[in-house]
């Protein structure tokens, strides 16, 4: 899946780019609307992420103009403008609206969900055994019981579910939920896995493959 990220803040742009790439997306970036316009003229994207306020103007108007011309690509707006009125305006032309500051793993989940809207072959609800993940609503259940997952727990569990019983490496799970700056031997993943196991309950379904990573069984 290919994503265009248009963001003029360099640090944020780099962080979003790295996290999306770590989650398996192909990513192009732009710093303003002219660059975004050039990228959109030569590439096909599954989703586009726009900062609301860019050097050349409000991206909302840019997207609205493209929508009127029949442009179908799902759009996620990023913005510090987070009043109810701003959200209503954003959702009138975009498909999702994420206020700053935000957790990058949550952005990854939302981008993946938007990409799937245009891919009828990818179901919005993922299942493995008695686990069920609704990638559109960001909810999870086990045997019908709701699981109160954090954004990071959700993206890690989603990656494990999509593996369908195959092991997933530690470094891949870290890239999905954090970024490449977190070392593979960091304990952040171990802490998250421990909490995820508690929430998943019994019988145990999340297992460690020593020296490799984790799998669902």
Domains along the sequence of the chain with CATH: 2-117 (3.40.50.2300), 125-216 (1.10.10.10)
Residue 121: which pLDDT band, with cuts at 50, 70 and 90? very low
Per-residue pLDDT tens over the stretch 17-38: 998 988 888 899 999 999 999 9
pLDDT in tens, 153-191: 888 898 899 888 899 888 888 877 765 555 656 688 899
Question: pTM of the full predicted structure?
Answer: 0.56
Rounded Cα gap, residues 65 and 5, in angstroms: 18
Mean residue pLDDT of the chain comes to 84
In our burial notation (b when 16+ CB lie closer than 10 A, e otherwise), range 83-106 reads eeebbebbeebbbbbbbeebebbb
pLDDT at 204 over 60: yes
pLDDT at 93 over 70: no
- Beta bridge partner(s), residue 215: 207
Length of the chain equals 217
Nearest to residue 109, comparing CAs of 150, 63, 52? 150
């Amino acid at each position: 899946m290919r994503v265009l990220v248009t963001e003029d803040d360099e640090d944020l742009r780099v962080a979003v780019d790295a996290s999306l790439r770590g989650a398996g997306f192909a990513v192009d970036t732009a710093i303003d609307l002219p660059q975004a316009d050039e990228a959109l003229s030569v590439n096909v994207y599954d989703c586009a992420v726009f900062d609301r306020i860019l050097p050349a103007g409000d991206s909302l108007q840019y997207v609205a103009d493209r929508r009127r011309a029949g442009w179908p690509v799902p759009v996620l707006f990023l913005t510090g403008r987070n009043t109810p009125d701003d959200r209503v305006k954003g959702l009138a032309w975009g498909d999702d609206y994420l206020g700053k500051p935000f957790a990058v793993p949550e952005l990854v989940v939302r981008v993946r969900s938007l990409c799937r809207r245009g891919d009828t072959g990818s179901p919005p609800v993922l299942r493995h055994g008695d686990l069920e993940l609704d990638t559109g609503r960001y909810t999870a259940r086990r045997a019908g019981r709701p699981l109160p997952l954090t954004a990071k727990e959700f993206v890690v569990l989603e990656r494990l579910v999509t593996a369908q019983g195959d092991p997933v490496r530690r470094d891949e799970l870290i890239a999905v939920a954090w970024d490449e700056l977190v070392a593979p031997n960091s304990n952040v993943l171990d802490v998250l896995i421990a909490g995820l196991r508690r929430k998943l309950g019994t019988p145990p379904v999340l297992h460690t493959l020593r020296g490799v990573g984790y799998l669902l069984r």
